[in-house]
Chains A and B, each alone.
Chain A
Amino acid sequence: MLSNLEIYRRATTGEICTENDFDLKRFIPAVRRLVKKHGIKYDRETPVSSDDDLAERVWQAGKALFLEVGVYCVDTERVITFDSLELDQALAHAPRPVILGSGQHAKAIPLRRPESLIDPFFSLGACGAGVTSDDVFMSLTQAYCELPYADAIASPALTQVDGMTIVAGSPLEVEGCVRTVIMTREAARRANRSGLGIANTVPTGVRSQGHIAGNAAAADQHDMMEIGGTAEFKIDFDSLSKIAYMQGRGRTILGETGPLLGGYAGGPEGCAITLAGYHFFALLVLRASVQHPFTSHYQTQSCTSRQAFWLTSLALQAITRHSDVPCLGTGTLAAGPTTEMSLLEAAGMSATSVVSGGNVESGPTARGTHLDYLSPMANLFAAEVGRSVVGMSRKDVNAIVVQLLDEYEDRLTDPPPGKRYQESYDMASRQPKADALAVYKQARAALIEMGLQFKDPPFYD
């Protein structure tokens, strides 16, 4: 496979192109043409598709898109291009297997295909949503670590250091990133799971200096750093610097690939092929050993709409039919924590990912944008549902997901806010309060009513 320095060389020697021309003359026309050429058509009745032929066409269109468009480097204003052999080599030579965590908590992220019978890997946590204080961070992160199905942890982001607001690119960001990793490790220790892997080590950080400092200070070789581009098929020197650091230390990268539904890729069809094409972006440019494919809607900012399920389901199937690099599916929920809607969203997202060949990184509630509006409950529920759909057909999961969408999709633009962690959980015991517990029981009953048979007993009594 091409080296990361070869990617850098191409970023500095590739065809000169303005960013506007890359968008308007390369990316957008190619997406529109390939969607039409491969007959990709959104089907609102089937958010979880069982159409293998359609998944194959999404794969072919995505690969053709990446090959034709290439990758834009915003710092050099040049296009990095690849040939077909290089794409095939990337698929064949990507590093594997991926093991997160150490000691008794080490666990491999399994390679799963659509309708796989292998239990999925669960990365549970806030995925970088912010909290207001160290106290909330510690209690909440320990609560995530205590979830029985957590194979890795995705911590919240700090927003303060000693009462001062963290600003991206400032020294406080560096200090906040270092503290984030140290505190996450301490939370895992307190949960008696010291060796638990961290799936995204420094969500507090935006810029490379914070990411590198946090990893250098406290992450180990069994943790991952999540790195993404700046927009569809675009990269910058800051991200390439993070990659250079991680590659230089032999560390594992989680490739963040989340085209905006309604953005440059357009609607669900364009987004589906872009997400499939992003697999090559993840392998070749981000140097990822694991891909995190998701989409979020430009209006609802969530990953749980009907269109989002349809396109992520298809893209996951497309990727996992052809690649041995594992995927962590799913993303952000619209509803706030400890609301029934948030649990139903988590259920839909997890079920869609698992049956489509993905593993699960359950995301934050309240769009990940409101400080402290988090809880471990949606993550737990995502895992309970994800474990339970293993062995089910895509058709049967689709029937459940359609019922879930019927319950909540008209509220995606104005979801219930829920309560902050410290209001819905006891901070010391990390247990849900009575009203939150009632929501959990209601949601389990609702899923059973929809036809799901839970494999595990309820975690909360």
Chain B
Amino acid sequence: MTDVEASPTFAALISAFTEADFDQVPKLVQEGLDKGLPARSLLDDGLVAGIREVGEMFRRGEVYLPEMMLAAEAWQAGMDILEPLMKGQSQAEVKGKVVIGTVKGDIHALGKKIVSTMLKTAGFEVIDLGVDVAASRFVTAASDARADVIAVCALMTTTMPQQKQVIEHLVAAGRRSDFFVMVGGASTTPAWATEIGADGHGETAADAVALAEEYVGHHDRS
């Protein structure tokens, strides 16, 4: 099949993402395979291209968290079809691994969910530890996963000090230099990030993705 013959399928897949017609995604993937399109192309030029466009729309304020979450689900449904056909091939390109969580004492999940979903749609593997996460769990989870980035969320002024605890636990474990640590949350500031020894501060979810991308772009994961 030529590129020209294949392009309507890719365009339809991208459109299914951008038009929020998410149920169509696995059907279109299967149709593409039935037409003889390679699984690799359906992944790169369909699923990945589509979900990245949704991420861009979120940055522009054109869609919101529900569309991002549904897009991530649709992406996974498409991957469930493609993965068995891609054994031996490299899988979807993962930009890097991020361990994310809301600190001990803080049960606010929504901001973290937005960051987590945006990171996924941007091509990161995300290990979400949830809320009320002890400092030591960030260290062990990031170490076990060989993560690149640790994202530490805190909404309240009285839970921000726990972000510092995460840094101190990393230092105590001798792992501080192994991870890029970024902090975020309504009350946090760049000055706070500097004060506690974090590597970056994300005011918005898009900032967090940009920070993670910049870091992995300059560091060899091997």
A236 to B108, CA, bound (A): 11
Q: Is A68 an interface residue (CB 8 A)?
A: no
The dominant DSSP class at the B interface is loop
Known: A28-B70, A167-B105, A230-B108. A263 touches B158 (CB 8 A): no
Contact with A along B107-121 (1 / 0, CB 8 A): 111110110000000
Q: Is the interface of A mostly helix, strand, loop or mixed?
A: loop
Residue tally, chain A, CB below 8 Å to B: 42
Q: In the complex, which residues of chain A have a beta carbon less than 8 angstroms from the beta carbon of B161?
A: 165, 167
Interface range, B side: 20 to 34
Question: Chain B: which residue is nearest A234 at the CB level?
Answer: B109
* Stretch of B11-19, B60-68, B90-98 with 4 or more beta carbons under 8 angstroms from chain A: B60-68
User: A206-227: contact bitstring with B at CB < 8 Å (1 yes, 0 no)?
Assistant: 1100000000000000000000
A298 touches B114 (CB 8 A): yes
- Is there an interface contact between B158 and A168, defined as CB atoms closer than 8 Å? yes
Contact A157 B66 (CB under 8 A): no
Residues of B143-186 at the interface with A, using a CB-CB cut-off of 8 Å, are: 156-159, 161-162, 186
Contact yes or no, A24 B69, CB < 8 A: yes
CB of B64 within 8 A of CB of A369, answer no
Distance between B54 CB and nearest chain A CB, rounded to angstroms: 13
A264's partner among B104, B110, B186, B187 (CB-CB below 8 A) is B110
Q: Tell me the residues in window 65-102 of chain B with beta carbons closer than 8 Å to chain A beta carbons.
A: 65-67, 69-70, 73
- Chain A, residue nearest B106 (CB): A168
Given A24-B73, A267-B64, A173:B204 Cβ within 8 A: no
Taking A168-B156, A232-B110 as given, write out 11 further A-B residue pairs in contact, using a Cβ cutoff of 8 Å, ordered by the A residue number: A28-B70, A157-B158, A159-B157, A168-B106, A170-B105, A260-B65, A262-B61, A263-B110, A264-B110, A266-B66, A298-B64
Interface of B toward A, CB cutoff 8 Å: 61, 64-67, 69-70, 73, 104-111, 113-114, 131, 156-159, 161-162, 186-189, 204-205
Sample (17) of A-B pairs whose CB atoms are under 8 Å apart: A23-B69, A31-B66, A159-B158, A168-B105, A168-B106, A170-B105, A206-B105, A206-B156, A230-B108, A230-B109, A231-B108, A232-B110, A260-B65, A262-B61, A263-B65, A369-B186, A371-B157
